[in-house]
Structure 1
């Protein structure tokens, strides 16, 4: 990496690459291909998209999907205004018109009618039909569709159909290796290498923990939160209790088991 590239990256949202994901995303954007990012909660999916949007010089429109999110919330709807009924673009239509990167986070949480809207945008047509206005928006070259979900939450009711999945280039994310995760915790929280190493060691112990009904394990995000509390003066054990143990479970027995791992690791 030359000096000019280092200076450019210094002004971007921090992201520590784990493999070839930066190159793959860049190639997909150049080839006007949509991207599907799979990975557990708190592993850096959203930060990666923010980093890549800035790196490519594109505006970013992010939508956090939820159970009540439908096609009209994405595309737009008619609303009553001072001059009568007016059409208002939703975030997806705004992203298409402006040539932005549109990121739909946890897309499987949205209602099923949303994925149907994405199909003509995610194939060679790159079009967004707006039935209520009769418009057919053609995505400009800079537009890119990115979706993400957590495979750990997949079930028969919340999954992507093959007809949707096969329109996307897939990126599979996991938690970083120990060295990369230590660098992330240091950079994000401003703690020293020793604290970062302790937290990563703790996370590795918690991720090996079995026999407890945990929906999620200790994510990189939780490590950064604990590190930030520690950097502000809270004792590290208390920071781990608040940001990791109590964030992962409400069950007293499970919390006690996690706390034992904290004590053994620190």
Structure 2
């Protein structure tokens, strides 16, 4: 079993994970949770999907188990397996099974990265049955009150590589998240990094210019997370343009002409 998945535990943050709503996503998520509906969060990398789930778990008072998905994630990594110990063979629940038993919110980050046969095990949890069949033990675990399945993925990136089957997609209420409006994003950058308002607005302005290069040679556009990282570096005494080169330009591209274009945008934004 993937040890990183095996070690996941449910947790309930004591302090509120700061999140600034962009629309009615908080209310919609609450209604889905109250009705036991599974939720799919769609949006670009770094637009706040994970922070939103953390905030909602805190708001709803539910423990949260987050599972990062990848190509090697097997169904047994989610459900559990038998382990051989010195005193015999014992069954150990996986993180999904623990969430079902404990009534936690289970968040599968970038779900399409998981193998298709792994995704199929989610189906019985996303309809009227709300059960998790465990073939190896013959048990069918009914979801405890409060359990909710949440998945996320980046449709802009995934449509070129992988995607969810229609039979899976139609089991979720989909919520489309995107980068916030400029004024809204500047407030987030300022709050999370601690920079002054003018610099936060400058970083967001730079991101807006770079995001116009989407589908013109730039595979991924700068996330709000990268802007926060750049702002944080400036507080350490690093000049703003150098901070942007390191935290925004270099993570986005290695292609010389694109790097040159991005650096020019930085220089034009912070003269």
TM-score normalized by the length of structure 1 = 0.94
How much is the aligned-residue C-alpha RMSD, in angstroms? Answer: 1.3
Aligned to 1:26: 30
Superposed CA deviations along residues 196-241 of structure 1, whole A, max 9, x for unmatched, are 0110010011011267422100111110111111122211111100
SS for the counterpart of 1:171 is: strand
Give 1:154 shift. Answer: 2.4
Give 1:22 shift. Answer: 0.3
Aligned to 1:100: 104
List gaps (5 residues or longer) in structure 1: 1-9
Superposed, 1:1-266 pairs within 5 Å as: 11-155=15-159, 158-209=162-213, 212-266=216-270
Give 1:70 shift. Answer: 1.2
- How far, CA to CA, are the matches of 1:157 and 1:225 in structure 2? 28
- How far, CA to CA, are the matches of 2:15 and 2:93 in structure 1? 31
Comparing 146-155 with 177-186, which one deviates more in the overlay? 146-155
List gaps (5 residues or longer) in structure 2: 1-13
Superposed CA deviations along residues 139-162 of structure 1, whole A, max 9, x for unmatched, are 012000000000012247611111
Contact 2:66 2:109 in 1 (8 A): yes
TM-score normalized by the length of structure 2 = 0.92
Contact 2:214 2:220 in 1 (8 A): no
SS for the counterpart of 2:221 is: coil
Instruction: Count how many residue pairs are aligned between Structure 1 and Structure 2.
Output: 257
- How far, CA to CA, are the matches of 1:156 and 1:183 in structure 2? 33
Contact 1:205 1:265 in 2 (8 A): no
